[in-house]
Amino acid sequence: MEGQNPILNSIKRGLKRPLWASLLFLFTVILLSGLQINKEYSIFSIPLGFMSGRVGFISGSQRSCADFFKQVPARKVVKSITDFGGIGDGKTSNTDAFQRAMEFMARFTDTGGSQLVVPKGRWLTGSFNLTSNFTLFLQHDAVILGSQDPKEWPIINALPSYGRGRERPGGRHISLIHGNGLTNVVITGENGTIDGQGKMWWELWWNRTLVHTRGHLVELINSQNILIQNLTFLNSPFWTIHPIYCRNIVIRNMTILSPLDTPNTDGIDPDSSLNVCIEDCYIESGDDLIAVKSGWDQYGMKMARPSTNIIVRRVKGTTPTCSGVGIGSEMSGGVSNVIIEDLYVKDSAAGVRIKTDIGRGGYIANITINNMRMERVKVPIRFSRGANDHPDERWDPKALPKVRGIHISNVVSLDSKRPPLLEGIEEAPFEEIHMKNISLFGLDPSMTWNCKFISGSSCSVFPTPCSQLLKNESNFQCPN
């Protein structure tokens, strides 16, 4: 047995050396054998003080919330887009082909379901609507391209919890891939691509010539048991994936990319939805990587459809102007029971941000953020007022949001630019803000946390947090 254990043999050989050399060698072996080293996180790149905490993705935990989606049986009918006259040359419009395909697939909603295969090629199309008990499958090297004709993104009604288009009054452009009232839908493939070709829409925004709110890449409304996985989404005109009034949604193993200077190209925005799982995704965006929402001012309050039971796990990405995960600012229907863990954000404006305002009403409650790593993030943790934007003049200045129960733990930020900014609302302070095991490195010693209208507790936080968080409460104690 001894001969089969090279580490033990090395230690025994070391006993023949001077005692100090043997002890040093033994300490080195133990230290290195207890650490995981990979390209993304090297023990030599951080102070040894980090070793006691969970940092980045080195914990080895691979828990999953994918069981939010109930698996569906194999589809009885499988067709290719070429069966409906599709031409994958990147130039020919396939809008009619996709619409014909979906009309055909809808026949099998109640008789075993259907699957539409998009083979290798570049398939230019305008908007089309999915059906229930349906799979959209993109083979390897298949690319769906969003049409450059705005007329192929028709105008639809505003969402009732927003009261108007988010960017412009009135209706809004439909998403490229759309669905309403669907059940048991899968959008997946062999890492195929859906490219919204959003530059045309971004320029309308930049030039202030946008007439109606831009469309999403994928929007599903009033739908349930939805799986989106194993694809690349590019260049969405507006928010990329937008499930609203939905339940049991799983979005996993996705790559979502937009140029970093593009306006409002959020990655994934669960909105007034229940049981949403987002995991193992990489996102680059001109806005929040993930934003949890639930309606806008009086319209969101009236509809009262909260976002609850939201899990975000093992998400990585960058956004130079916004946050890794944001909650709000449209949260008037309420947001609760959100778990965010194993988040890695680099070269971004904020790590996590809670954003609300007077007039929003609603609540943000029971938010747990654990095990977050940041590099070169300007403001690692930020609570702030919004942009004082309201859907119309009928918003209620007496409608105050309630924010309570925010738990943030096991956070490391390297090369931080600014200390946390935690600003509640004077008439409605943010309460029960608890922080544990927070290490923010790179700050100038003269910088201090900026806190207003908050209360809570903290322990094992460096540098020392603001006085409002120095109280240690019995229900949030650091381990001995």
pLDDT higher than threshold 80 for residue 15 = no
Classify the phi-psi angles of 45: left when phi > 0, otherwise alpha if psi is within -120 to 50, otherwise beta. alpha
Residue scoring higher pLDDT (474 or 305): 305
Report the percentage of the chain scoring pLDDT > 70: 85
CA dihedral defined by 9, 14, 15, 20, rounded to 10 degrees? -150
Burial class of residue 342 (count of CB atoms within 10 Å of its CB; 0-12, 13-18, 19+): buried
Average pLDDT score over residue span 191-213: 98
Per-residue confidence at 49, pLDDT binned at 50, 70, 90?
very low
Contacts of 45 (CB under 8 A, 6+ apart): none
Average pLDDT over residues 438-464: 96
DSSP state of 51: G
- pLDDT tens-digit map of 450-460: 999 999 999 99
- Catalytic (active-site) positions: 287
- pLDDT, position 292: 98
What are 35's two structure tokens? Answer: 């650490």
| 296 pLDDT higher than 70 | yes
3-state secondary structure of 224: strand
The Cα 297–Cα 389 span in angstroms is 9
pLDDT 10s digits, 393-404? 999 999 999 999
> Is the pLDDT confidence value at 9 over 60?
no
What are the b/e assignments for 417-446, b being 16+ CB within 10 Å?
Answer: ebbbbbbbbeebbbbbbbbbbbbbeebeee
Environment class of residue 266 by beta-carbon count within 10 Å: exposed (0-12), middle (13-18) or buried (19+)? buried
Mean per-residue pLDDT, 176-196 = 98
List the single range of 45-59, 113-127, 402-416 with lowest mean pLDDT.
45-59
The pLDDT mean for the chain works out to 89
pLDDT at 271 over 50: yes
Residue 145 backbone phi and psi in degrees, to 5: -110, 130
Taking the CA of residue 392 as centre, how many other CA atoms within 13 Å lie in the half-sphere pointing to its CB?
A: 10
For residue 24, pLDDT beyond 80: no
pLDDT bucket at 318, cuts 50 / 70 / 90: very high
- What is d(CA 392, CA 126) in angstroms, rounded to the nearest whole number? 31
Dig out the tokens for 436 from the structure.
């544990």
Strands 172-173, 155-156: pairing is antiparallel
Residue 362 has pLDDT above 60, yes or no: yes
Q: What is the pLDDT of residue 385?
A: 86
Cα 354 to Cα 136: distance, rounded to the nearest angstrom: 35
Q: How far apart are alpha carbons 46 and 58 in whole angstroms?
A: 14
* Joined tokens for residue 21: 């050399």
- What is the pLDDT confidence band of residue 61, given thresholds at 50, 70 and 90? low
> Per DSSP, what are the bridge partners of residue 422?
383, 451
The pLDDT of residue 386 is: 79
User: What is the Cα–Cα distance from 379 to 349, expressed in whole angstroms?
Assistant: 6
Rounded mean pLDDT, 277-304: 98
Q: Is the pLDDT of residue 311 over 90?
A: yes
Among the residue ranges 51-65, 252-266, 297-311, 421-435, the one predicted with the least confidence is 51-65
Question: How far is C-alpha 405 from the chain's CA centre?
Answer: 20
Q: Given pLDDT bands bounded at 50, 70 and 90, which one contains residue 139?
A: very high
**Global pTM value:** 0.87
Could you report the per-residue pLDDT of 83-95, keeping only the tens digit for each? 999 999 999 999 9
CA distances for 427 relative to 339, 390, 402, angstroms: 27, 19, 10
- pLDDT at 43 (0 to 100): 23
- For 79, 81, 112, 133, 178, the CA distances from 76, given in Å and listed in that order, are 10, 16, 5, 10, 23
pLDDT class for 478, splitting at 50, 70, 90?
A: low
H helices of 345-475, in order, are none
* pLDDT number for residue 5: 40
Say whether pLDDT at 57 is over 80: no
Q: What is the pLDDT of residue 316?
A: 98
What pLDDT shows up at residue 32? 36
Return the SS3 of 226. strand
